[in-house]
């Protein structure tokens, strides 16, 4: 019931913008809609409308909205603010999100923001800034509630009641030693059913999943998914001191980014792609990818050019050759997609890669033979030439085998070389299936038909 309304609001806002009814929009943007919905509205608006809407949000409300806007867009807005307003809005951010954004703002601005903070907050922020955005340290927040192991449940309750509110997503209290070393966790669900006289040490969990600040964000996400966590403590890998905690809301973003990353990269798009990015920005990004693929396309054409004489003699070959290349491309990208997902899910290692390669080769042979027969039959019906039918059948089998080999081994090899398989994989695969497709088809034709 909630989601469609964002698009409905967008329609309403868009209509109001056209008719100049800014009062209504102002009303919607400044309190009538929750900040999260206003953020969605901004993300779903083209650049000009986005700027207009942003200008209609009161300065005091802009700070509420900004933390929910996607990073790329909020950085744009923040770059245009003076220091004073930047400081005002930055107070609304969680520390981890603010750190991500500060890392992308001009250094002078960052210094001013840091200088305006309390000493304690600045120390925390500087610690966060020292971690990469893609590490556990970059996902971490410092809003933990810590307790000592020797106090009783009754005292814990009294200690909690001294807070006016507990941080959001607090599902556990973290137990630390006097020197801040992490000792264990006390889930609220356990605290609430505990005996008032029991000590924290009696009831705390010590076998819990801890995260080291230098761990990869993707690993953290997999741990949360596997263990169904809501929050987890982050520890300094050297001193074993508690640094903060990671909560599921930040992990959900990582999971979505990871899962989208493969799809977007395979089409040469950026991860943080703004659907409504302006024309120039979009053109530049797309142009690079088209240029890279042009190399592939000309390579394939070069291969065809080698067989100019053959093509000159049998024009049917020119008509049929895209079929061989296209079937190889489709078969290869199925394997590639599956293996890229398997690598992202950490499912594929030395122990099972060989089995996977074997299966793909056999599947390639089975489907190659099946479709080679179908294509040969269709070719014979079309051109009435049995020899061309044999040649195309042979080429299909060869290309589907190469597609299986490349689709399986390429992403595994790229991963080992530290190259993103999703980004480089699809271009290289297409090059292979195009080149092998044209080479095998026109090569076999030159041998058997001419």
Q: Under rule CB under 8 A, which residues in 377-416 are in contact with its own copies?
A: 378, 382
Query: What's the gap between Cα 396 and its chain centre?
Result: 35
Q: What are phi and psi of 245, to 5 degrees?
A: -145, 155
Cβ atoms of 243 and 234 within 8 Å: the answer is yes
Q: Is 350 exposed, middle or buried (0-12, 13-18, 19+ CB in 10 A)?
A: exposed
Q: How far is the CB of 377 from its own copies (least distance, A)?
A: 12
Query: Between residue 311 and residue 330, which ones bind its own copies under the rule CB under 8 A?
Result: 311-312, 315, 318-323, 325-327, 330
- Among positions 102, 242, 300, 435, the unique one binding its own copies when judged by CB under 8 A: 300
Query: Between residue 423 and residue 442, which ones bind its own copies under the rule CB under 8 A?
Result: 430, 434
What span, in angstroms and rounded, lies between the C-alpha atoms of 328 and 300? Answer: 13
Q: How far is the CB of 65 from its own copies (least distance, A)?
A: 13
Query: Between residue 127 and residue 186, which ones bind its own copies under the rule CB under 8 A?
Result: 157, 160-161, 163-171
Q: How far is the CB of 127 from its own copies (least distance, A)?
A: 20
How many alpha carbons fall within 13 Å on the CB side of residue 337? 12
- For the chain, the first-to-last Cα distance in angstroms comes to 67
Q: How far is the CB of 89 from its own copies (least distance, A)?
A: 19
Per CB under 8 A, the segment of 55-63, 97-105, 109-117, 375-383 that binds its own copies is 375-383
Taking the least distance from each CB to its own copies, the nearer of 93 and 371 is 371
Check residue 256 for interaction with its own copies (CB under 8 A): yes
Q: What are phi and psi of 449, to 5 degrees?
A: -100, -25
Check residue 20 for interaction with its own copies (CB under 8 A): no
Taking the least distance from each CB to its own copies, the nearer of 176 and 400 is 400
Q: How far is the CB of 126 from its own copies (least distance, A)?
A: 25
What span, in angstroms and rounded, lies between the C-alpha atoms of 122 and 143? Answer: 14
What span, in angstroms and rounded, lies between the C-alpha atoms of 288 and 164? Answer: 53
Q: How far is the CB of 190 from its own copies (least distance, A)?
A: 7
Taking the least distance from each CB to its own copies, the nearer of 112 and 214 is 214
Taking the least distance from each CB to its own copies, the nearer of 36 and 121 is 36
Taking the least distance from each CB to its own copies, the nearer of 88 and 427 is 427
* Nearest 10 degrees: Cα torsion 338, 344, 346, 352: 30
Taking the least distance from each CB to its own copies, the nearer of 149 and 167 is 167
Query: Between residue 271 and residue 290, which ones bind its own copies under the rule CB under 8 A?
Result: 273, 275-276, 278-279, 282-283, 286-287, 289-290
Q: Is 21 exposed, middle or buried (0-12, 13-18, 19+ CB in 10 A)?
A: middle
At CA 251, angle to CA 245 and CA 256, rounded to 5? 170
What is the dihedral sign for C-alpha 398, 404, 410, 413?
Answer: negative
Query: Between residue 189 and residue 228, which ones bind its own copies under the rule CB under 8 A?
Result: 189-190, 192-194, 209, 212, 215, 219, 222-228
Structure tokens at 123: 């120390």
């Amino acid at each position: 019931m909630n989601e469609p309304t964002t698009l409905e609001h967008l329609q309403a806002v868009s209509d109001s913008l056209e008719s100049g009814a800014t009062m209504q929009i102002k009303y919607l943007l400044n309190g009538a809609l929750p900040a999260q919905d206003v953020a969605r509205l901004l993300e779903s608006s083209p650049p000009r409308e986005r700027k207009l809407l942003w200008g209609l949000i009161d300065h005091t409300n802009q700070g509420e909205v900004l933390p929910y806007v996607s990073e790329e867009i909020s950085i744009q807005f923040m770059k245009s603010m003076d220091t004073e307003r930047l400081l005002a809005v930055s107070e609304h951010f969680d520390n981890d999100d603010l750190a991500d954004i500060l890392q992308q703002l001009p250094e002078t601005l960052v210094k001013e923001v840091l200088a305006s903070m309390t000493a304690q907050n600045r120390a925390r922020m500087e610690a966060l800034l020292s971690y990469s955005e893609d590490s556990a340290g970059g996902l971490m927040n410092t809003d933990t509630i810590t307790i000592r192991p020797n106090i009783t449940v009754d005292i814990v309750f009294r200690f909690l009641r001294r807070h006016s509110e507990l941080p959001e997503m607090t599902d556990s209290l973290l137990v630390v030693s006097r020197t801040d070393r992490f000792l264990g966790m006390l889930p609220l669900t356990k605290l609430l059913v505990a005996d008032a006289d029991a000590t924290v040490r009696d009831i705390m969990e010590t076998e819990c999943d801890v995260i080291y600040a230098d761990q990869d964000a993707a690993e953290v996400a997999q741990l949360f998914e596997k263990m169904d966590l809501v929050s987890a403590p982050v520890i300094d890998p050297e001193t074993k001191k508690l640094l903060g905690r990671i909560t599921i809301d930040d992990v959900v973003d990582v999971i979505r980014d990871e899962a989208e990353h493969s799809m977007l990269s395979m089409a040469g798009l950026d991860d943080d792609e703004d659907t409504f990015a302006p024309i120039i920005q979009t053109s530049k990004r797309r142009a690079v990818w088209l240029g890279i693929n042009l190399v592939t396309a000309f390579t394939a054409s070069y291969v065809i050019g080698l067989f100019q004489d053959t093509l000159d003699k049998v024009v049917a070959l020119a008509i049929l050759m895209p079929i061989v290349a296209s079937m190889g491309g489709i078969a290869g990208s199925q394997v590639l997609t599956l293996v890229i997902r398997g690598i992202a899910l950490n499912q594929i290692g030395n122990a099972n890669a060989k089995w996977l390669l074997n299966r793909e080769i056999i599947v390639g042979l089975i489907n190659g033979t099946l479709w080679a027969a179908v294509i040969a039959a269709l070719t014979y019906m079309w051109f009435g030439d049995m020899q061309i039918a044999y040649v195309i059948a042979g080429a299909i089998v060869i290309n589907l085998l190469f597609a299986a080999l490349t689709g399986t081994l390429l992403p595994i090899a790229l991963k080992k070389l530290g190259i993103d398989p999703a980004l480089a994989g699809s271009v290289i695969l297409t090059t292979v299936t195009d080149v092998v497709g044209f080479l095998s088809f026109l090569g076999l034709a030159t041998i058997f038909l001419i």
